[in-house]
Amino acid sequence: MTTYLLKRLAIALATLVLASMVVFAVLEVLPGDPARLMLGMNASADQVELLRNQMGLNAPLVLRYLRWVGGLFSLDFGRSYTYSVPVIDLVRERLAVSLPLALIALALSTIIAIPVGLFSASRRGRAGDTVAMGAAQLGVAVPNFWFALMLIYVFAVWLRLVPAGGFPGWGAGVWPALKSLLLPAVALALPQAAILARVTRSALIEVLNEDYIRTARAKGLPYRAVLWRHALRNAMIPVLTILGLQFAFLLAGTIIIENVFYLPGLGRLVFQAITQRDLIVVESVVMLLVAAVIAVNLIVDLSYAVVDPRLRSRQ
Amino acid sequence: MTLHIDIPEETLSDILAKAFRNSAFVAGFVITLLILAMAIASYAWTPYDVTRLVISDKTQAPSLAHWFGTDHFGRDILSMVMVGARNSIAVALVAVGIGMGVGVPVGAFAAARGGLVDEALMRVNDLVFAFPALLSAIMITAIFGPGAVNAIIAIGIFNIPVFARVARAGALAIWPREFILAARAAGKSSTQITVEHVLPNIATLLLVQGTIQFALGILAEAGLSYLGLGAQPPMPSWGRMLFDAQTRMVVAPWMAIFPGMAIVVTVLGLNLLGDGIADILDPKSRRQR
């Protein structure tokens, strides 16, 4: 068990280091000179050269990479070229939108998917199962940004219950802010919930065929208790794996969804930064997202041991 | 090339008979065929010319003359949906081709070699999986510029590790089997064994994954072109149509409804087809997502 944990940790760290090199290398080949971009087209070559020196852009590649990584560790991400503010401030401000959005979406999709999966698995082959899985099949096929447009049409344009887009900021009060995150969160959650419900169902069906389920039933435990206490717990590993993978999808999904709803979040920030060639922002945010994905998958791996005591005892 | 099928007593006609009794397969097959037919038909005929702008006809609601209505330039939405199908299918299909073409040999090679080679290739896979695919696709199109070809590359790259993983897992399950041992005893090299015995046995697995990636590719292409990074105007694409529709939702909701439905139906058809094939050829198989 300990060696397993150590191996997983080492792999996660190695992946992180390699990912940082890839991000750095990719942005090196991106066209566009940041110094030229900051000074505008009218600046002379000398001025640009001076600024390049000041920004440390003329230092050797390896040195620049090490400086960047060192900066990441001390939370000094550099300054944005286009916003002229420290990147860390931008990220902090945008995370206040994106993180709640992703968490609400994740919570929503789990709250929907697990009961639907349980319902379907316990009614396998019957009408309820067919309807639920048909809906899930449809949910997987719906692009989240189109679903978002339809939600806007129904709930914002037609019923006028929620704003069609924009974000008032947490300063405007918790409820108005939450209200503007509601539709985006639902749009993000639906396709995820559909996938998760299917995985939960098939994992449960696999478990329900096991001998110990028959034993539990034979000793007189009610079906509901068997389902929740024995089956669900044993089916958790594939479900957790998918939840971990979905986190990456969710982060990427925010890029499009934040664009649909004009939310000032991390996804919109990185998308704008890419189109504006604000490389410092792009590398910092991409690195942050990649680190988040690696961390979540590591946590998922470690949580197997919590869910499944058999893994823990294998010392 | 000899084909090894798990259940030798099952003939082709048995499989076909099973296929026609599988409702997911039939529905998926019919839908996919219809969408393909629509895309092919658009080369020969569309109700209206998609490049002709008729401003006097702009944002008309669906009618007998324009079944799906018209857009803000007076273009016929049905014609645009038909032509847009070409773009979606071409991008997703070629991206699957790239993923299979590179991923399957890599995965099969990793499984055949094992040891350090396998470990190294799988770590590279982990690395690619650490990048949210859409984010990287955006970066790739930002480097090389927006366009259908670059969208194909961006989506294709992320299909590679998926197929590598599926091919490796499938191949690892085949390698310990007796007929492989027999082939080895006959003096065949590991490359020969991979080509002649392993690949035919994991073909179903790859076909099912292929339909899943095809469907995901359609969704990814729609997302990229919605962000303006896919096919460029005047070439109609479903994602781009949705972008144009967004600011006109109040006056012309049909501009958003029909391209979106086209995406949903296409993806649904492909997913049903994949489910059906998996069911028919191996009832025990569960789709891995």
Domain assignments of chain A as residue spans, ordered by start? 87-313
- The model's pLDDT over A4-41, given as tens digits with 9 standing for 90+, comes to 788 888 888 988 999 999 888 887 776 667 677 667 77
What percent of chain B shows pLDDT beyond 90?
Answer: 35
pLDDT at A108: 94
Structural class in CATH, domain A87-313: mainly alpha
What pLDDT does residue B284 have?
53
Nearest alpha-carbon partner for A204 in A129, A154, A293: A129
Handedness of CA A37, A39, A43, A45 (dihedral sign): negative
For residue B1, pLDDT over 70 is answered with no
Decide if pLDDT at B24 tops 50. Answer: yes
Q: Indicate if the pLDDT at residue B133 is higher than 50.
A: yes
What is the arithmetic mean of pLDDT over A63-76? 83
Query: Closest by alpha carbon to A274, among B187, B144, B105, B247?
Result: B144
Q: Which residue from B72, B68, B42 is spatially nearest to B54, judged by alpha carbons? A: B72
Per the listing, tokens 């012309």 go with: B252
Higher pLDDT, B140 or A110: A110
pLDDT > 70? residue A165: yes
Checking if the pLDDT of B2 tops 80, the result is no
Question: In the predicted model, is pLDDT for residue B285 greater than 60?
Answer: no
Confidence of residue B289 (pLDDT cuts 50, 70, 90): very low
* Residue B4 pLDDT > 80: no
pLDDT in tens, B141-168: 777 778 888 889 889 988 999 999 999 9
User: Which has the minimum average pLDDT: A291-295, B14-18, B39-43?
Assistant: B14-18
Across the interface, which of A142, A242, A297 has its CB nearest the CB of B264?
A142
Taking an 8 Å cut-off on Cβ atoms, the answer to whether A145 and B242 are in contact is yes
> Per-residue pLDDT tens for B208-224?
999 999 999 999 999 99
**A117 closest CA partner among A227, A279, A246:** A227
> Phi and psi at residue B76, in whole multiples of 5°?
-75, 120
pLDDT-based confidence at B238, cuts 50/70/90? very high
Which tokens go with B78?
A: 């049905």
Binding-site residues on chain B for chain A (CB distance < 8 A): 123, 126-127, 129-135, 138-139, 142-143, 215, 219, 222-223, 226-227, 242, 245-246, 249-250, 253, 256-257, 259-260, 263-265, 267-268, 271-272, 275, 286-287, 289
> Taking CB atoms and an 8 Å limit, are B129 and A248 in contact across chains?
yes
A77-81, A255-259, B117-121, B165-169: range with lowest mean pLDDT: A77-81
Domains and CATH numbers, chain B: 22-44+65-282 (1.10.3720.10)
Rounded distance between C-alpha atoms, residue B173 and residue B189, angstroms:
18
- Interatomic CA distance for residues B80 and B69, integer angstroms: 11
- Find all residues with CB under 8 Å of B99, minimum gap 6, and list them: B156, B158, B159, B160, B162, B163, B213
Q: Is A252 within 8 Å of chain B by CB?
A: yes
With a pLDDT cut of 70, the percent of chain A lying above it is 96
B215 chain-A contacts, CB cut-off 8 A: 141
- Give the model's pLDDT for residue A79: 80
3-state SS, residue B4: coil
Helix axes A232-260, A174-208, angle to 10 degrees: 140
Per-residue pLDDT, B37 = 94
Here the ipTM equals: 0.85
pLDDT at B3: 53
How close does chain A come to B211, measured CA to CA in Å?
13
Measured between beta carbons, the chain A residues lying within 8 angstroms of B289 are 195, 198-199, 242
Q: Coil, strand or helix: which one is A226?
A: helix
Q: pLDDT tens-digit profile of A244-299?
A: 878 777 877 888 899 899 999 988 898 888 888 788 888 888 888 888 888 888 88
Measured between alpha carbons, how far apart are the two ends of chain B, in Å? 31
B9 has a pLDDT exceeding 70: no
